[in-house]
Structure 1
Amino acid sequence: MHYAELAKAREELTGPGGTFEIVHTDVNGIAIRAYRHALPDVRALWQSTLPFADRTYLIYRDERLTYAQAHARVDAIAAWLAARGIKPGDRVAIAMRNYPEWLLIYWACVCSGIAVVGMNAWGTAEEMAYALADSAPKALFLDAERLDRYKEIAEPLPGVTLVGVRLRGPESDVMSFADVIAHRGAMPEVVIDADADACIFYTSGATGFPKGAQLTHRGCITNLFNMLYAGASTALATQRATGVAPPAAPPAPVSLLTTPLFHVTANNCGAYATTAAGGTIVLMYRWDAGEALRIIAQERVTSIGGVPVMARELINHPDFATTDLSSLTALSGGGAQVPPDLVHKIEEKVVSARPSTGYGMTETCGIITSVAGDFFVDKPDSAGPAMPAYEAKCVDEEGNTVPPGETGELWVKGAAVIKGYINRPEATAAAITDGWLHTGDIARIDEDGFIFIVDRKKDMVLRGGENVYCAEVEAAIYRHSAIAECCVFGVPDHRLGEEVGAAIVLKPGEVLDDAELRGFCEGHIANYKVPRHIWFMTDSLPRNASGKFLKRELRDRLCQDRPAA
């Protein structure tokens, strides 16, 4: 394999004078690795796309927007925000599906120094209320479904301006998005601090409440450069090893985004990379493998990314063999580990595309590692090497670095690590030590620098790319008056990787069934967090000497008795 060539490519690209030259910079008293040639902020990224005016930028169903049209609308939104007195350092929330407006509002805010609060569109009214109270946005852009949910909130946030996107009709006290873009006007001139918040994305909370991760302009731009570096280093190493040169002027990418824009996978990775290249972003109303195949053929999509189950569903779809997929050059999986068999299936069945993946977190504004092509095929159970803007190490329980090749919790440090969690100094201190982010994943690093994720330290279920903290689900279940004990854990699932399972002990004399418990949970947590597998136990749940539930032992025994679908 080409590992020597990859090491040489890395040294050349990141060394003095290299395109991705790495330097050390000081952020809040901590020396971190960063790219010398990185753009100063996200505003600069968006403005760099002005020369692409005539290219198609966004496609949604039969709607198309050029870069020129997108810039005009982004400017109008930004001017409207300024006219409302919303200024740099303030926050604006977006709660909607992957409509084109999502990205237009996003660029308008970050270019104005306003932080975007990406609301989880799958959340309940209760979760929406918490995030709004926690982040205190000055405006909330929401679609019809999220407006219905907002109306369920007992005490709506005072002073927030509501803007409706694609509503069913006029709504009192809700401004129309059409009126916003009719405002017209120019983008306000602002100076943006690289370490100011660009966006706040909520992650599931281990204590029952989600945490608002602060993604900075520096972090978001660093993630973009990490992705550009990943492609450049792999291409250079492969070219030198094989002698096959890539096309001199590859066409602008056409990317099908399949995951929600309130996540770093679609937003910071998919949208940023395609936008920077002057490419086209295609959006879907909801994921459907058959519809995705049709779109790939019709729009000549070059790349599609999503959680691994999406790639598997594409390959297994009845229309796969008869669909023209010759435009595809990359089929990637992220948000969950790609099973090795799927890596080989992509390599064998999608003739023009190579498999790729990235491992990352909301807390790193996107990817930590990346691997593609020959390297992924050779090491299909690897997440790839850490990007050069990171230092990476595996540590023991005391935070000491373990010897090379041994397992430990993966810690990373670099320009893409978040500033912290808003209003949660204790959570920030627990997650970041002297700039080192504790990923919560148990890993080992091999002799080539490739990282292998082998276990999870966090008490978490990874369901189709969505993090579900067991404690959060347990907190919701315990709100039911009939519950004496509950223990939540991950259940292996062929399609989603893991599903949520729960072992329940009822109080004496109480009666409850699966459907009633799920219905109760749906009022407090998002649907994807609601347990699919429920066991009602007659005896107390097993505990260790300190009184903690023996979760792994319980999970293994119950899953053996009732295999997952």
Structure 2
Amino acid sequence: MLTAQQVQQDLEKLRDIVIALKSPESDLATTTKVINGIELNVFAKVPDNLRGVYKLGLEAADKDFLVYEDERFTFAQSLHTAEAMSQVLLRRYGIKKGDRVAVCSRNYPEWCLAYMAITMIGAIVVPMNSWWQSNELVYGIKDSGTRVLFADQERIDQLLPVIDQVDVEVIAIKPSKPDPRFPEFHDLVAEGLTGEQVDLDAIEVLPEDDASIMYTSGSTGNPKGVLSTHRNIVNALYSWIFGKEANDTLRPELVEEDPEFDPGILSNVPLFHVTGSHAQFLVSFIMLRKFVMMYKWNAEKALELIEQERLSVLHGVPTMTWEVMNSPMFDKTDLRSLRIVQSGGAARPPGHLTLMKQKFDEVVQPGLGYGLTETNAIGATITGAFYLAKPESTGRPTQPVTEIRIEDERGNVLPNGQIGEICIKGATIMKAYWNRPEETAKAIKNGWFHTGDIGLLDEHGFLVIKDRAKDIVIRGGENVACAEVEYALCDHPDVCEAAVYGLPDERLGEIVGASVMVQPGSGLDEATLQVFLRENIAHYKVPSHIAVQTKQLERIATGKIAKKLLREQAIKRLGLA
């Protein structure tokens, strides 16, 4: 493990490496650009748009890229299939630059192909949460102004009871109940390959053009749409490339000169999250990395795929690493290809890292990242020796186009070691919250995005997260807005008031808990409330534990519900301490 002095020495080496990597003659050179009145560092030699990123895959044209069960698409096949779907969107549906087209599905190859098809013609992709229930889908379609929706059968089933409430055309992904109203994905691809072809290269998509709207659960009510540009996303992708190059230069002993296996990653988190879409899927075009999908998360299946597909990266929420390490199949699985085990989306308990050191070979580098939907997953990263030396940290600001500072409640910048709100500035910060100018202005001030997270920068500039200012629960990497669940609980006619909070859980990090006051004599209990909620909100948002009482919930001096006390009582009652 590195000493404090060794950490400082390595950081000085890293500083020189970063200077060289971003110099004008480097492929990863940076320059400054004024965007929306803010001067930012940006990558100077990267593709202008996502179509340029997709074309990079042609360097490994005949190698497998998208893999799902017995389905395989090479890099070239993926691009050509997506281009055919682009033709369909343009010719059949009349999609124009700036129009919104949504994708709501499990992780299937068609999800990725649809994302490519939408963004390469300048339309705005809207990756919708596949956990959403009917009313949530209606909200997302209406809020974004989505014209066309790519959806699998489960999502179509959710939409059918409310389809009269929305004006949207549906393209079916892997339908098990064919419906003439909803043409099938690959039938449309065949249509796109015929007839007069639109010149896709003639469609001008600029770096500052809008690329995606991703929904995020904040601290109040309905999810907000996060609008990002092509530059935002492309600069996020190259930030990871830059970080890899810098780490490889710092630790050349870990770089394989002639690797036995090609790079590959397991797609094990939802693609509607920036971790899945950006850090796993999109950056794979640049890394020429195989992208292997699974129907749903299962630790034993994950181990099987790592061995079978010779995958080099296991990357997901900390819960997944924990389940893999505790699987009875772990010691029976050939993990020779594995090189990186990273996590994001939630804090990793210290005990996980200790177990990782015991379980994985020395060549396997542990890692952790911190980012948000609003930052396109970029913020801070930490890997290898730095992580082992500073397990409490989530890393240094992601080089070279990101800055982090800590502010107090009055907006003063705090020195290292002092706790305040984490603020991030850089080329990957979202353009705006979709159709929410006031909330955008509150969140972004002079180019600095205010995360709502509380933390500090230590003496070496490593970020340590202390708390969340936003009232959310992170359940296995899924953000749950407490207010949204409280509103849903209070929709029941016998619920007087509700408080929702996070409870500790070894596997998921946190689970959702609640305390509610109900009408005396109603007979309302925990199980009945959970059934009621499952009909109205995504299942992962439904509290695992609900304390039901007929008296008013406890208050603090100001008259507000004493959430902290209710949480402590629940932890004690359930034996979760």
- Following the alignment from structure 2 to structure 1, what is the Cα–Cα distance between the partners of residues 216 and 254? 41
User: In the alignment, what sits opposite 1:519?
Assistant: 531
Verify: 1:366 aligned to 2:377, yes or no.
Answer: yes
- Following the alignment from structure 1 to structure 2, what is the Cα–Cα distance between the partners of residues 187 and 482? 60
Aligned ranges for residues 3-14 of structure 1 at < 5 Å? 3-14=11-22
- Following the alignment from structure 1 to structure 2, what is the Cα–Cα distance between the partners of residues 157 and 361? 29
Verify: 1:345 aligned to 2:358, yes or no.
Answer: no
By how many angstroms is 1:154 displaced?
5.8
1:63–1:543: structure 2 CA closer, same or farther, 3 Å change rule? same
By how many angstroms is 1:149 displaced?
0.5
Report the AA paired with residue 470 of structure 1.
Answer: C
Q: Partner of 1:375: helix, strand, or coil? A: helix
Q: How many residues align?
A: 560
User: In the alignment, what sits opposite 1:295?
Assistant: 305
- Following the alignment from structure 1 to structure 2, what is the Cα–Cα distance between the partners of residues 206 and 349? 38
User: In the alignment, what sits opposite 2:3?
Assistant: none
1:154–1:51: structure 2 CA closer, same or farther, 3 Å change rule? closer
Q: Partner of 1:321: helix, strand, or coil? A: helix
- Following the alignment from structure 2 to structure 1, what is the Cα–Cα distance between the partners of residues 258 and 44? 25
Residues 344, 377 of structure 1: 8 Å contact kept:
no
- Which of 222, 231, 240 lines up with 1:227 in the alignment? 240
1:403-440 per-residue CA deviation (whole Å, 9 max, x = no partner) reads 22111000011110001111222221221112211111
- Following the alignment from structure 1 to structure 2, what is the Cα–Cα distance between the partners of residues 53 and 236? 28
Q: Using the TM superposition, name which of 181-190 and 441-450 deviates more.
A: 181-190
- Which of 140, 143, 150 lines up with 1:141 in the alignment? 150
Aligned ranges for residues 468-487 of structure 1 at < 5 Å? 468-487=480-499
Residues 13, 250 of structure 2: 8 Å contact kept:
yes
User: In the alignment, what sits opposite 2:159?
Assistant: 150
User: In the alignment, what sits opposite 1:43?
Assistant: 51
Q: Using the TM superposition, name which of 531-540 and 304-313 deviates more.
A: 531-540
- Following the alignment from structure 1 to structure 2, what is the Cα–Cα distance between the partners of residues 161 and 245? 50
User: In the alignment, what sits opposite 2:441?
Assistant: 429
By how many angstroms is 1:18 displaced?
4.3
Report the AA paired with residue 259 of structure 1.
Answer: V
Verify: 1:317 aligned to 2:330, yes or no.
Answer: no
Report the AA paired with residue 155 of structure 2.
Answer: R
- Which of 19, 25, 35 lines up with 1:27 in the alignment? 35
- Which of 168, 183, 192 lines up with 2:176 in the alignment? 168
User: In the alignment, what sits opposite 1:215?
Assistant: 228
Residues 92, 138 of structure 1: 8 Å contact kept:
yes
- Following the alignment from structure 1 to structure 2, what is the Cα–Cα distance between the partners of residues 10 and 236? 10
Aligned ranges for residues 119-518 of structure 1 at < 5 Å? 119-153=128-162, 155-158=164-167, 160-183=168-191, 184=193, 185=197, 188=200, 189-239=202-252, 244=253, 246-248=255-257, 250=259, 252-351=262-361, 352-387=363-398, 388-518=400-530
Q: Which runs of 4+ in 1 moved over 6 A?
A: none
Q: Using the TM superposition, name which of 546-555 and 56-65 deviates more.
A: 546-555
Q: Partner of 2:515: helix, strand, or coil? A: strand
Q: Partner of 1:141: helix, strand, or coil? A: strand
- Following the alignment from structure 1 to structure 2, what is the Cα–Cα distance between the partners of residues 21 and 472? 44
- Following the alignment from structure 1 to structure 2, what is the Cα–Cα distance between the partners of residues 312 and 186? 49
Residues 346, 354 of structure 1: 8 Å contact kept:
no
Verify: 1:78 aligned to 2:90, yes or no.
Answer: no
- Which of 85, 100, 115 lines up with 1:106 in the alignment? 115
Report the AA paired with residue 289 of structure 1.
Answer: A
User: In the alignment, what sits opposite 2:70?
Assistant: 62
- Following the alignment from structure 1 to structure 2, what is the Cα–Cα distance between the partners of residues 537 and 492? 22
User: In the alignment, what sits opposite 1:117?
Assistant: 126
Residues 33, 39 of structure 2: 8 Å contact kept:
yes
Q: RMSD over aligned Cα, in angstroms?
A: 1.6
- Following the alignment from structure 1 to structure 2, what is the Cα–Cα distance between the partners of residues 459 and 205? 8
1:367–1:284: structure 2 CA closer, same or farther, 3 Å change rule? same
Residues 519, 550 of structure 2: 8 Å contact kept:
no
The TM-score with structure 1 as length reference comes to 0.96
- Following the alignment from structure 2 to structure 1, what is the Cα–Cα distance between the partners of residues 415 and 538? 41
